[in-house]
Homo-oligomer: A and B are copies of this chain.
Amino acid sequence: MADLDHTELAASLERVFRLLRRISPPRDLSLTAASALRTLDQDGPHRLTELAGAEGVTQPAMTQLVSRLERDGLARRNADPADGRAVVVEITKAGRALLRHRREARVENLSHLLAALSPADAAAIAAALPAFDRLTDLLPQPREPHTQEP
């Protein structure tokens, strides 16, 4: 069995990152917007503060992001009956539809690449996916927000 060189893995992940940028260019939705929308889709409505924490951005940044999502009809702010200060953010039907379209486009783009990959390589990747998922599950729950990006 091959040994796992951390430096090699880090470099490889970086290349995977560029791969992802290519097969999923942020035409319609920024990465953070898409990620927040996915959180709302999979885990249901969230408070604005929770959402900011989950995505690793500040509260003001999330206020603005949610405002843009709301303006575009992808999410909705609701009052929290239990707490007059709070806001509960919810994904809309249009938001779900957009996520679905993005997923399909990504798979479509990937398929072209995969068709050119050797069966052995495809098998190696398939075998590693569960391990990758467990790796990401090891992530500590989000913490301090980033500084800038892209």
Chain A interfacial positions (CB closer than 8 Å to B): 1-27, 30-32, 35, 56, 103, 106-107, 110-111, 113-114, 116-136, 138-139, 142, 146-150
Contact = CB atoms under 8 A, between A and B. Distances in A.
A135 B149 contact: no
A125 B128 contact: yes
Copies of this chain present in the complex amount to: 2
A6 B150 contact: no
Interface of A is mostly: helix
Contacts of A111: 6
A26 B147 CA distance: 6
Contacts of A106: 10, 14
B150 A114 contact: no
17 contacts: A1-B127, A4-B114, A9-B129, A10-B23, A13-B110, A18-B136, A19-B132, A19-B136, A21-B146, A22-B56, A26-B146, A26-B150, A27-B148, A113-B135, A124-B127, A124-B130, A149-B150
